[in-house]
């Protein structure tokens, strides 16, 4: 899930949002209506799931794999309420069904209160390989397992609180980049090698291999200021990834008050998605 932050470099006109926004509450929560999913939808979920399960054991970080193994979602689109109960017991988070993208502040308020918004609808079969808007497969398969990790779960809440504050400081462009390059497209350097923790990669059949093994993208050792200055694209594989050590380091690096940092970054030039900066510490691709 992400907020509807339009801070990308793509000039494409914004498509009308998919999803049924009738009957939502002020927090955009809706009913999942699990019984309304068709047999075809569950079958498509199983195909998406089976494809990713061939990939994640090789490419995903351990915390993700541990949690995914404990979730029983191979057979079809899961019931959010069941998972929510288990998730609440593990880390105090809950899932909230939403029709699709939601306004920034609504999204941040959910995260700040340890609620994760999950889109109800599933992509069409012809979108099997790539989808720009998050659907239930991306939101669930990509995001939900890591919410069972206590340290990651705390980072997500801190991000939500940071979002409320960034909105006040007119700094959402910068904070959106942090979400993009960590929660959605983050890589992690582990003793076993480079691994994926970003949901946008974990739910993608093509990008998960590319992110770890392609010589094409830049893999920059996490550098908060560099990251906040780096634009991103939502419509193709990423040109740049930022690599953390572990979630504790991510929390520590993002814990300081961003107020002064936002002011400084505002005065500095941005980096295009594929730009090189002299001070970048780069990591090589993994051997395939
Ligand atoms: N430390 C940030 C601030 O003061 C809040 C934040 C924490 C933002 C974690 C993102 C992630 O604004
Ligand atoms: Co997402």
Ligand 1 touching residue 182 (CB < 6 A): no
Ligand 1 touching residue 255 (CB < 6 A): yes
First-to-last C-alpha distance (Å) of the chain: 30
Q: How far is CA 67 from CA 59, 63, 150, in A?
A: 15, 6, 11
Ligand 1 touching residue 60 (CB < 6 A): no
Ligand 1 touching residue 179 (CB < 6 A): no
Q: How far is CA 284 from CA 189, 230, 249, in A?
A: 11, 20, 21
Ligand 1 touching residue 111 (CB < 6 A): no
Q: Which atom of ligand 1 is nearest to the CA of 255?
A: 1
Mutual angle of helices 104-112 and 150-168, in 10-degree steps: 140
Name the residue at shortest CA distance from atom 11 of ligand 1: 159
pTM: 0.94
Tokens of 78: 């899961």
Distance CA 205, CA 58 (A): 12
Question: What pLDDT was estimated at residue 87?
Answer: 98
Residue with token string 């000039």: 11
Ligand 1 touching residue 112 (CB < 6 A): no
Tokens of 157: 């809440």
CATH 3.10.20.30 is held by the domain 34-266? no
Name the residue at shortest CA distance from atom 10 of ligand 1: 159
Question: What pLDDT was estimated at residue 7?
Answer: 41
Question: What pLDDT was estimated at residue 131?
Answer: 87
Residue with token string 């979602």: 73
Q: Quote the strand ranges of 207-261, DSSP E.
A: 218-221, 240-244
* Cα atoms found within 13 Å of the Cα of residue 287, Cβ hemisphere only: 1
Low-confidence stretches of the chain (pLDDT < 50) are 5-13
Ligand 1 centre distance from Cα of residue 255 (Å): 6
Tokens of 210: 């590319």
Ligand 1 touching residue 178 (CB < 6 A): yes
Which of 184, 169, 166 has the alpha carbon at shortest distance from 233? 184
Domain range annotation of the chain? 34-266
Ligand 1 centre distance from Cα of residue 170 (Å): 14
Distance CA 211, CA 59 (A): 9
Question: What pLDDT was estimated at residue 8?
Answer: 41
**The length of the chain, given as a count of residues:** 288
| 3-class DSSP assignment, residue 229 | coil
Distance CA 119, CA 157 (A): 19
Of 152, 258, 262, 263, the residue with max ligand 1 atoms within 8 A of its CB, to mutate for a pocket test, comes to 258
Question: What pLDDT was estimated at residue 5?
Answer: 47
């Amino acid at each position: 899930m992400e907020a509807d932050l339009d801070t990308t470099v793509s000039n494409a006109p914004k498509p009308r949002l998919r999803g049924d926004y009738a009957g939502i509450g002020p927090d955009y929560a809706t009913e999942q209506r699990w019984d309304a999913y068709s047999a075809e939808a569950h079958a498509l979920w199983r195909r998406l799931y089976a494809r990713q399960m061939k990939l994640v054991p090789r490419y995903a970080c351990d915390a993700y794999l541990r949690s995914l193994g404990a979730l029983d979602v191979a057979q079809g689109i899961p019931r959010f309420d069941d998972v929510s109960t288990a998730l609440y017991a593990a880390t105090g988070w809950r899932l909230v069904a939403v029709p699709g993208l939601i306004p920034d502040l609504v999204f941040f308020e959910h995260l700040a209160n340890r609620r994760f918004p999950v889109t109800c609808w599933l992509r069409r079969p012809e979108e099997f390989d790539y989808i720009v808007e998050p659907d239930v497969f991306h939101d669930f398969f990509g995001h939900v397992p890591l919410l069972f990790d206590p340290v990651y779960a705390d980072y997500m809440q801190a991000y939500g609180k940071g979002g409320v504050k960034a909105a006040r400081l007119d700094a959402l462009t910068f904070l959106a980049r942090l979400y993009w390059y960590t929660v959605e497209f983050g890589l992690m350097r582990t003793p076993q090698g480079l691994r994926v923790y970003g949901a946008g990669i974990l739910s993608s059949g093509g990008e998960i291999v590319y992110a770890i093994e392609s010589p094409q993208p830049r893999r920059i050792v996490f550098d908060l200021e560099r990251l906040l200055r780096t634009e991103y694209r939502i419509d193709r594989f990423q040109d740049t990834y930022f690599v953390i050590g572990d979630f504790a380091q991510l929390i520590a690096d993002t814990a300081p008050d961003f107020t002064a940092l936002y002011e400084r970054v505002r005065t500095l030039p941005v980096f295009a998605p594929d730009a090189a900066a002299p001070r970048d510490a780069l990591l090589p691709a993994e051997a395939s």
